[in-house]
Structure 1
């Protein structure tokens, strides 16, 4: 599936899931245009599924965490290219879980190659995560740094709807 291309705009969702001691939950992406990267957990929205239900389902499948109180804080359009140059576009709805979760020892996430809770500044973040974590109020990142990182990855990421939450700004 890592070679699968999106023929239309992919509607997806993800969540910032806080862990203990200022950590955040990350998964190593197995498929898609960002395969191999550590990302925030989430995935595609199924036909007939609301994004809130989809993010709760995806987070449970990938991390074992049962979200109880997700807050939608932003929707982004992410546009880029696969390694072969074919384009992709993702419409990403982002949630912030307002509770803290600890990963179950030995949990094997569905369709991911790794699972970790870490302080974001200590992770090899994907360029899109800088914007998302900044807007979630989890870490302060200068706007120019976000723009530079997205440019390096040849991505365009625009906020469709959003607000900054949290307190790190």
Structure 2
């Protein structure tokens, strides 16, 4: 499984409404072999635990595709000039949509713009191991969507009280 993280992942959210924030498209790949392992684990009743927020974005994109729902994925890369200039490009091919498969995930390769924030309905991920992220980041919104605001606030208060290290090379938390 691969997701090439773009700069937008670390760009602070300035909009008061997260739906107004745009992410650049990021290239990702979920192999047929990995998709088969995830689907087998789901059939066997095992939990799908993502290691990191980028893994969540790949798995939930694959879950939308498997469910036959429109997914913010394009096989066409974004315009490189728009990425370099800092614009948030719109995908030329729009959102992919395919028939539902009945599986938890489907393999795919493409450019995703899936932005997960509170209110998102998780289809695949049932646990998350992640860092303590900075305020006003897309990463923190994803974790808040997964854990819920109250649990996240309690965890962060404890992390501050215990002097945990934040961000990419800091301490981590397991959310089940």
TM-score for the superposition, normalised by structure 1? 0.28
TM-score for the superposition, normalised by structure 2? 0.27
Whose Rg is larger? 2
Higher-strand-fraction structure: 1
